[in-house]
Structures are given as structure tokens and as C-alpha cells.
Amino acid sequence: MAGVGRDLATVREESAAAAEAEIRRAQERVAAVDATFALMRANLAVHGERTETLGGGVERLAEQVAAGRAESEARAAVMLDELAAVREPVEHAGSEVAELRAMVQSLREENAAVRTQAELAGAVAEKALAAAERAKLEDEKAQALQTGQTADGTGDHMTQVFREILGLAAKERPRPLHTPVEAAAPEPRALRPGFDDESAPMAVIGTNGRFKEMNPSFCRLVGYQEHEFAKAAWPSPHDRRHYAEQQEQFSALISGGLERVPVQSTFMHGQGLMVPVIGEITAVKGEDGLPSHLLLRAEEPERDL
């Protein structure tokens, strides 16, 4: 019995020792688990702080992006306003430049037409001066011949003397710097029925604006022969108020955009007076269907009874 008691005591001791060892291991495992949980809590805290920091950075970045976008939109709006403010004067300046170019072109055409009219007036003045000189000379000769005729039969001798005197006076008279030479008139063209026999003034105008043919009524209206008025052009440079409009009408007639337009123009007469030309211009088409020339039909002027 004593041996059994010792065995039991030994088993108890061993059991107690094993239980204590198991408890220590369990405590160690629990301590390790606690340490792991503590480490995990610490890691979670660190990660939480990092997450909060990252979230704050994202929010700040979003705020910066929003602020930058608002600033960019404000700058863009200012730039658009500046562009709109600059575009208006630029467009206005462009329209003014176009108007100036049109005015310069119109002035050039007016100057060319005025130069042509001046040449016509100069030619007429030269012809009138030459005719006046001839008439004066003939008048002086006639007076000298009449004075030299006497009743005693000495008229022939006196006529010869006066002729010599007139010859000397003509030699001593200063000659003009320029003696106008009248150009020979071209051969008259063949008369055309329905044009030259019309009582109404009619004229043919080429596609370059120059007068090509005129019937006798139109020649009487402007005071020029047909070949003398060939330097004149339509529209007339004397119609400054309507010159630009008439230029547009002429272009439309030549291009086929218009068939006829009313005319109320003014030309310089061969005697220097201003003559109104009122009527209508019609585009006359050729075989190709395009306008080949223009036909001006004017009203007959009122004549004093």
C-alpha cells in the first residue's frame, strides 16, 4: 500500500508539473497573442493616421484643383473679353481699309476720266484759238484791202503796199509756243438704219466704257463729232455723287447681271457748257450670249421756240 501511495504522489506531482507547464505555455501563447494584437493595434493606428493624412492631402489637392480651375476659367473669360474688345476695332479697321481702297480706286478712275475730259476741252480750245487767229488775220487783210482801194486808180499799188506791210507784221508777230495741228477726221462709217436716222440721241458704248458710235442727234447734244467724243467715257466724272453707283451699274451691265439701267448723267459740251444726258442704257448681247456693247438712248433736249 505504501508503494501505491508513493506512485500516486509521484503521478500527482508529475501531473501538477505537467499542468503547470501547460499553463505556462498557454500563458506564453496568450502573451504572444496579446503582443500580436498590440502590434496590430499599433499598426492600425499608424495606418489610420496615414489614411487620415492621405485623405487630407486628397482634399487639399481637390481644393487646389478646384481653385486652379476657377482661376483658369476666370483668366479664360478675361482673355475672351479682351479678344472680343480687340476684334471689334480690328474688324472696323478692316472695313475702313476696304472703303479706303474703294475710294482710292474710284478717285483713280475719276482722275482718268477727268483727264480725258480735259484733253477733249483742250483740243476744243486749241481749235477755237486757231479759228480765232485765222478770222482775225482774214479781217485784218480785208480791212487793208478796203483801205487800199482809191478812186484815182492807185488802189492796186496801195493794195500791194498793205499786203507787204501785213506780211511784215505777220513775220514780226510772236508765234505761239505750240501750234495745234488738227488731226484728220477718219473716214465716215456707213450709216445704220434704226440708229443714225433716229431723232433721239443714241450712242454705242464699248465694254471698256468708251463711246464708239454716236448718231447725229447725240453729236448735236454733246457738241462733238463722233471721232472727237471717242475719248469720253461712261460714267461721267462730273457726276461725283452718283459715280460709284454708276460704276457698279456698269460692271453689272457688262457682266450680264443687269439688262438695263436708267441714266441721269452730265457731260461737258464742246462749247464748255454742262449738258444733262437723261435716258436709259441697255446691254446688247453678242452671238456668245454675253454683252458685246451698251446702247445709250437719251431724251431729246427741249429747244427754245
Query: d(Cα 166, Cα 143) in Å, to the nearest integer?
Result: 11
- What pLDDT, in 10s, does the model give residues 238-249? 888 889 999 999
For the domain covering 199-305, report its CATH number: 3.30.450.20
Question: What does the DSSP assignment read for 226-281?
Answer: TTGGGG-BSS-TT-TTTHHHHHHHHHHHHHTS-SEEEEEEEEE-TTS-EEEEEEEE
Domain residue spans of the chain: 1-115, 199-305
Rounded to an integer, what is the distance from CA 64 to the centroid of its chain? Answer: 52
Cell numbers that stand for 224 in this block: 462733238
- Nearest residue to 226 (alpha-carbon basis) of 212, 246, 242: 212
Q: Answer whether residue 16 shows pLDDT above 80.
A: yes
pLDDT band at 154 (very low <50, low <70, confident <90, very high): very low
Q: Greater confidence, 70 or 116?
A: 70
CB-based contacts of 224, cutoff 8 Å, min separation 6: 120, 232, 270
- The rounded Cα 62 to chain-centroid distance in angstroms is 54
Q: Cα dihedral angle (93, 94, 96, 101), rounded to 10 degrees?
A: 140
Average pLDDT, the chain: 75
- Average pLDDT of the segment spanning 265-294: 93
Lowest-confidence segment of 56-60, 67-71, 174-178 by average pLDDT: 174-178
Q: pTM of the predicted model, to two decimals?
A: 0.43
Query: In this predicted model, what pLDDT tens digit does every residue of 118-136 receive, in sequence order?
Result: 556 555 555 555 555 665 5
